[in-house]
Amino acid sequence: MEIDATDRRILAVLQKEGRVTNAELAERVNLSPSACHRRVQRLEAEGYIAGFVALLNARKLGRPTTVFVEITLSGQADELLDAFERAVARVPDILECHLMAGTADYLLKVVAEDTEDFARIHRQHLARLPGVAQMHSSFALRTVRQTTAIPV
């Protein structure tokens, strides 16, 4: 289904202010509350809205260290990729995992307390991932820009 300009305005508001009330959202996108509610429900049902979450402050929660880990696997067989992806899904310290085109097969985003904690994560989890031939870790020094907002 195609989304129109009103749907895009709804999505733009919701992805930046997920706790906005339906009445306030309706006012901001110039709809009645009931029409706005129906549109939000439709956008959810059709998968444009994947879910609602609270974005947590990693620093406040004692996980200020972000590490990007490039992983090259020993092969490209579907069984190996599936086994790797299943294992990654079980590691809570891995926030993101992307299958890549380029020099690395996967790029992981890992959060840790500090370098010692990352060493523990590496030893207990990353080094045990199936099929890993090579791993390269880069520590983020500072986050310059971070957003979850997709241009709509």
The correct CATH number of 65-139 out of 3.40.50.300, 3.30.70.920, 3.10.50.40, 3.40.50.360 is 3.30.70.920
- Using a pLDDT cut of 70, give the percent of the chain over it: 100
Q: What is the DSSP string of 97-143?
A: EEE-SSS-SEEEEEEESSHHHHHHHHHHTGGGSTTEEEEEEEE-S--
pTM for the model: 0.90
Strands 132-139 and 106-112: unpaired
d(CA 128, CA 132): 8
Residue range 5-45 in CATH 1.10.10.10: yes
**Domain range list for the chain:** 5-45, 65-139
Tens of pLDDT along 81-136? 999 999 999 999 999 999 999 999 999 999 999 999 999 999 999 999 999 999 99
Q: Return the amino acid letter for 130.
A: P
Tens of pLDDT along 11-20? 999 999 999 9
d(CA 8, CA 6): 5
- How would residue 1 be classed by pLDDT, with cut points 50, 70 and 90? confident
- Using a pLDDT cut of 90, give the percent of the chain over it: 99
